[in-house]
Structure 1
């Protein structure tokens, strides 16, 4: 029997409520995670506001938000002995895992498109009033369903780095992989929050010759440079779209960027990003997760320049294993730890969300009390 706290999310825009819940057993194939750290991701903020409709994805209220997490194994269900790379698991092993769960049997899964699983479920969508209760990252525990993908965290990768692997880092890695970014190409990153900063670092690691980051927060732009950006554009200083596009062309030999990645979540940014894209360029759309929002678009400019748009939602689960390798290799080369510098206890979750909303913190994190 396992008893712990959850931060219940009952109504968009309202404070979280801390309550206790008890899980009576861990079933065959399941894994109970003792959560140690969960970040506040942009989609958590959108759900909190009600602009990211979790009900539209099959979710229920009340639920428990939070998905970008790391933890230790509290209990292994019968039949679970190793992670998805075949490495031994035991109580206390630190692990990360995709926060969405595929059936591995439907048409999409069998064709290698597990993000389109016909029975896809994920953290933040379960009912916090029914077992297993621990259905999101803002709680002392999280229950992984049977047959979930999970990976051991290397000893050299601390929690503050590992917690971002299963969402932000894996998402942008997958996006740049699908765009086939290669050596010598140029990249623009629209938005320098956590996803944007990871995108800068991954683009440089994949051999990008020029990486340009765009944001309006000075601290984020400074971090983008530390993460490897060759140039930054401050939205508060370069206020016109045409001037920002001109800067991009100047830094890309007049052609525009080979790849543009949108992680700011504003529809109008798409039209701007397409203007920065070179002929035959690839536009990677990640940030606009809110339904019903639109922007004006001239398709002829897209068509005649042979551009490609790639929509990226979630990632193939094996990307997470590569994300851990990336963290191992890059942890001493770029200031990854600065992404998780702002920490709050679970009791302070409402303060943490206020800080994340104000962009005072690049990535606010909820750190659980290990003494519980």
Structure 2
């Protein structure tokens, strides 16, 4: 075990929507059985981080807190019994890991092997830093991995920034693609949304063998990136602002009947009704982006008359974290994952980075709490 510092630096939210300050935060002097203490080497930003800072999440958030839930850390202390990760790989001081939120392991969701739906989960980036173990967010130089958190060792070939992205964006997409079921050359897939999740989903559906992938979104720079990830066609919300015209484009791309699979990653409530229209008879509709409290009018009879299968997909379990890292390794020469990382910044630039995300000037920025990237 390396020396544990008394304090570390963290970006602390003390008031919603106000500038974030860099503060000293205490470090737990010991690590509980099953836990880990890590140096955070990279933490990518998620739209949820921005919404949490704004105070717009429909959650009971108690300030002050350290944001960040997409992080990778280098182990500096290992609690008793934590020498093996959740997929059976040995862990040693100096290894890099990504980790899940903390699950209770006792509720019906945990025991049914859906721990991501744990009723008693503790979510990183949403816990007050006044509560032990204080370091529950990735916008800090150190973080504490709770005993109830699944963890996976990061392969040497995977860079820090991509490993951090795997711990949220990519693991969510891996889970969603798995839940969607088989796609093959006979299937046309429409992806709604050209943010990080939509672009990653475009790539994974293309690699899974979909006959045609159509990505709908904006701005054009992101659609160009979706093309690099394998989109056969893109539909720009800016160039085609009328939903009826976008529906006509999808029907043209599919020869008339609509898509075999529509995958919603946009997060805009109105996209749900539009996606139902884009789906063909007997199609599947995968809904991933709808995490807010917004509503939208829809004719539910459309689902019935089209015989649609609607699939909700939330987050991911530790197996999806592991699979996300495998995807980064195996598809490294096929998909330009590094193009999603729009910038890497020191911790003290956190306010500028959040502002750039609000202005859609970043796709997936990464904070480097400890300094230089690996």
**Matched length:** 366
Residue equivalent to 1:347: 348
What are the superposed Cα offsets for residues 197-239 of structure 1, whole Å, 9 maximum, x if unpaired? 1101111121111111111211101100001111001111112
Residue equivalent to 1:81: 83
* 1:22 is aligned to 2:23: no
Map 1:110-259; keep pairs closer than 5 Å.
110-184=111-185, 185-259=187-261
Task: State which of 17, 24, 44 in structure 2 corresponds to 1:39.
Answer: 44
Task: State which of 250, 271, 275 in structure 1 corresponds to 2:277.
Answer: 275
Offset of residue 147 of structure 1: 3.8
Instruction: For 1:284 and 1:218, locate their aligned partners in 2 and report how far apart those are by CA, in whole Å.
Output: 24
8 Å CA contact 1:181, 1:203 repeated in 2? no
8 Å CA contact 1:47, 1:53 repeated in 2? no
Q: Which runs of 4+ in 1 moved over 3 A?
A: none
Question: Can you give the 5+ residue segments of structure 2 that lack an aligned partner in the other structure?
Answer: none
CA RMSD, aligned part only? Answer: 1.4
8 Å CA contact 1:345, 1:367 repeated in 2? yes
Instruction: For 1:350 and 1:179, locate their aligned partners in 2 and report how far apart those are by CA, in whole Å.
Output: 37
8 Å CA contact 1:54, 1:60 repeated in 2? no
Residue equivalent to 2:8: 4
What are the superposed Cα offsets for residues 49-98 of structure 1, whole Å, 9 maximum, x if unpaired? 2221331xxx4211111111112112111121111121111111011122
* 1:361 is aligned to 2:366: no
Report the TM-score when normalising by structure 1.
0.95
Instruction: For 2:56 and 2:312, locate their aligned partners in 1 and report how far apart those are by CA, in whole Å.
Output: 19
Instruction: For 1:115 and 1:131, locate their aligned partners in 2 and report how far apart those are by CA, in whole Å.
Output: 22
The secondary structure found in structure 2 opposite 1:232 is strand
Residue equivalent to 2:334: 333
Instruction: For 1:318 and 1:195, locate their aligned partners in 2 and report how far apart those are by CA, in whole Å.
Output: 18
Instruction: For 2:360 and 2:104, locate their aligned partners in 1 and report how far apart those are by CA, in whole Å.
Output: 37
Instruction: For 2:70 and 2:291, locate their aligned partners in 1 and report how far apart those are by CA, in whole Å.
Output: 16
Offset of residue 272 of structure 1: 0.8
The secondary structure found in structure 2 opposite 1:54 is coil
8 Å CA contact 1:181, 1:259 repeated in 2? no
Offset of residue 370 of structure 1: 4.0
